Structure 1
Amino acid sequence: MELGSQIRRYRSERGMSQDDLAGRIFVSRQTISNWENDRTYPDVQNLLLLSDLFDVTIDQLIKGDLDTMKQAFDKDVRSMKILNMILYGLAAAIFIVDGLTLYGVAVAKREWPWPLSLMGLLALLVLLGMIIGLEENIKRRNDIRTYREIKAFLAGEEVDRSDRGHAPSLRKRLLLLLLVMVVCAVAGYALAALLW
């Protein structure tokens, strides 16, 4: 990325230290260092402050970085889509296989194998938790909170953050996930009953 070198160049041209620049745009010196070394990227508010302070347009400040940002954005979109496919496919596969296995063991032994069913459920919850955690990291990195924002992000469209008052709570999302898990478990059990 070129923004780091642009910030360093404009700061040096004006004879400012990292501390001076940090004080003028209300961030830490470490933040300026991270920007200049391309470890992090300034948010929109800081880009506006930098362009104002250096008396340049934002286009001049971030020239060359737009393609890099688009590639990073596209990579995150692809990752999110892949994680969604894995999440739902894995949930369905585990419930169907677990349902068939449990049904077979139950028919053979004439009793329900609770330890086996609990192990399958625990494995599913661990895998789902890991995938959901990866998705949440992508959403946090791209400042995505509502379903509409996720939908726009996955479609590669501009994300409108103006109306965030209706974001589903964590409780609602967990209840929805639980509902999906129950439906998949019933479907797996029904399929096992039909095949047996």
Structure 2
Amino acid sequence: MKISEQLKKHRKVKQISQEGLAEVVHVSRQTVSNWETGRSYPDLQSLLLLSDYFEVSLDELVRGDVSMMKKTVEIRKMNILAGVMVGGFVLMIATLPLVRSFGWLGAIAPAVSWIIAMAAAIAVERMKKKYDVKTYMEILNFMKDEEMTPAQKAAEKKKLKQQRILLPIGAAVLTGILAYIVLTLF
């Protein structure tokens, strides 16, 4: 059972309004409403107060939402890692002119940026593997906590086959372009 449902159930058993519960927990009525509709989650202090007020264990209060909270944390982590990855690649490209100015010593900044971007990319790939998401559409649905329809799954499977052919070709072309740029800087 989700925490939103738990809160509604326990509040009705205690016969207290959202406003009354808000006073007990020292939050606004809107905050309690957001908890009960699943738009947000109570913080730890609020959970402890709710647990005491409803006379139930903290474990019983949040039992159904632990996996949801873990997934929310994973989604945030994936977003941060994606930002680091893109930022690292942009920084790498932006610092490539340093190679021309400072020679091999100038290659340190682009190399470090590349290493950071690749570490973030590897972390994202591990998360994708953990949650069995392979395509962009699957990632979007994962982040929205939605299931894909069978038709969407079939379409994504077809795209994945095409990507397995096109991605190595694209990577080779991009590597060639970057190698050409670096070689012309020397």
Report the TM-score, using the length of structure 1 for normalisation.
Answer: 0.49
Q: Larger relative contact order (C-alpha < 8 A, sep ≥ 6)?
A: 1
Q: More helix by proportion, 1 or 2?
A: 2
Aligned to 1:30: 30
Aligned to 2:40: 40
Cα distance in 1 for partners of 2:185, 2:61 equals 64
Matched, 1:73 2:49: no
Matched, 1:20 2:20: yes
How far residue 95 of structure 1 moved from its aligned partner, in angstroms, is: 3.3
Matched, 1:89 2:89: yes
Cα distance in 2 for partners of 1:75, 1:193 equals 40
How far residue 5 of structure 1 moved from its aligned partner, in angstroms, is: 1.0
Q: How many residues align?
A: 105
> Runs of 4+ in structure 1 displaced over 2 angstroms?
191-195
Root-mean-square deviation (Å): 2.4
Task: Please list every run of 5 or more consecutive structure 2 residues that lacks an aligned counterpart in the other structure.
Answer: 102-181
Cα distance in 2 for partners of 1:5, 1:64 equals 10
The percentage of counterpart residues that share the same residue type is 36
Task: Please list every run of 5 or more consecutive structure 1 residues that lacks an aligned counterpart in the other structure.
Answer: 104-190
Cα distance in 2 for partners of 1:194, 1:16 equals 72
Cα distance in 1 for partners of 2:26, 2:76 equals 29
Match of 1:41, SS?
coil
How far residue 94 of structure 1 moved from its aligned partner, in angstroms, is: 3.0
Cα distance in 2 for partners of 1:78, 1:31 equals 27
Report the TM-score, using the length of structure 2 for normalisation.
Answer: 0.51
